[in-house]
């Protein structure tokens, strides 16, 4: 346990770095698809997308996972369901975050190859997912509890936000 606090510190910093990529990369995707007719701009964005994923996001994701495994190894009581049910909720949210992260790489490759059919509106909505998952993860960790009410409220709130982003805009009739 002597090194646990240092590993935890590293874990939090790695998580913050990973989240920075998860927040920013979909925003780059929005710029990419909404400016597809501006070739020079898109080529610069493609470089930014590659670098933020490969040089920031991927190493930070690996560091987050490895440091998390080290923490669980140093403090295995965190895996005792009766004591730490919140940890299983956190790990479940982490699985969704990993899936999201891998999906960003899929979209990045599609955009790099000019084969992505998603809209800017889609990527605006998709950009909300890591925020929702981060709120859930941080909530579970800080409170050391799993609350179905908290989880449901956050999921419903973000479902509503996604709906608002994706719904078609009303066209006003001009007289």
Contact of 166 with 125, CB cutoff 8 Å: yes
11 is in an annotated binding site: yes
Q: Using CA atoms in the order 66, 72, 75, 78, what is the torsion angle rounded to 10 degrees?
A: 150
99 annotated as belonging to a binding site for a ligand: no
Whether 116 contacts 36, CB under 8 Å: no
Rounded Cα distance between 38 and 17, Å, is 30
- 84, 77 Cβ separation under 8 angstroms: yes
Q: Which residues are documented as binding site?
A: 11, 90
Which residues belong to the annotated binding site for heme?
A: 11, 90
């Amino acid at each position: 346990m002597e090194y646990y606090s240092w590993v935890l510190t590293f874990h939090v910093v790695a998580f913050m770095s990973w989240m920075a990529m998860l927040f920013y990369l979909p925003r780059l995707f929005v710029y990419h698809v909404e400016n597809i007719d501006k070739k020079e701009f898109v080529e610069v964005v493609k470089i930014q997308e590659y670098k933020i994923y490969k040089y920031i996001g991927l190493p930070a994701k690996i560091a987050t996972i490895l440091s998390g495994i080290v923490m669980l190894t140093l403090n295995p009581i965190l895996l005792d369901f009766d004591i730490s049910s919140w940890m299983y909720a956190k790990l479940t949210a982490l699985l969704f975050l990993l899936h999201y992260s891998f999906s960003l790489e899929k979209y990045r490759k599609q955009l790099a190859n000019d084969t992505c059919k998603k809209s800017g509106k889609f990527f605006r909505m998709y950009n909300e997912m890591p925020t929702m998952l981060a709120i859930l993860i941080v909530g579970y960790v800080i409170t050391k509890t799993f609350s179905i009410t908290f989880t449901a409220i956050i999921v419903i709130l973000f479902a509503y936000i996604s709906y608002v982003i994706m719904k078609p805009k009303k066209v006003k009739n001009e007289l």
